[in-house]
Amino acid sequence: MIKIQSLNQNQQFRSVLGKNKLNNNYFTIYFMKKVFEKKNNSLNMSFVTKKKVGTAVKRNKIRRKLRAAVQKVLTNNKTINLNYTYIIFGKFTIYKEKFSVIFNEINKAFGKIKK
């Protein structure tokens, strides 16, 4: 099983946010080649929501849905490149959306990144 490691330092976030970006109605993905800790079977990925999205309960639910969708993509399709570092910004539209729709959107987005 592939472990998802979160980015910890401000420098890591700033370097990734300055690179490539992929945007849709549900989330925005920032990504770059992995330059941080290289561990086998690990993925550098952080899930972020802005305070404007809503209360802590809503923000946490959005992050949980995103994390579950990414975990499912990792186990099923393997479309996520482990040599990249990702930051995913969740938007409010995820909160009321079904998981299957979110999973399909995540799958499409990482398919585009892999190309």
| Full-model pTM | 0.87
The pLDDT score that the predictor gives to residue 39 is 67
The CATH number of the domain covering residues in 3-109: 3.30.230.10
> Looking at residues 16-26, what average pLDDT do you find?
89
pLDDT digits (tens, 9 = 90+) for 89-99: 999 999 999 99
3-state secondary structure 9-60: CHHHHHHHHCCEEEECCCEEEEEEECCCCCCCCEEEEEEEECHHHCCHHHHH
Domain ranges of the chain: 3-109
Rounded-to-integer distance, Cα 50 and Cα 57, Å: 13
Question: Which pLDDT score, from 0 to 100, does residue 38 have?
Answer: 62
**Which tens digit of pLDDT belongs to each residue from 40-89?**
777 888 999 999 988 999 999 999 999 999 999 888 877 788 888 899 99
Q: Which residue has the higher pLDDT, 41 or 30?
A: 30
Contact 59, 89 (CB under 8 A): no
- The predicted pLDDT at position 102 comes to 93
Q: What is the pLDDT of residue 112?
A: 87
Closest CA to 70 of 97, 91, 99: 99
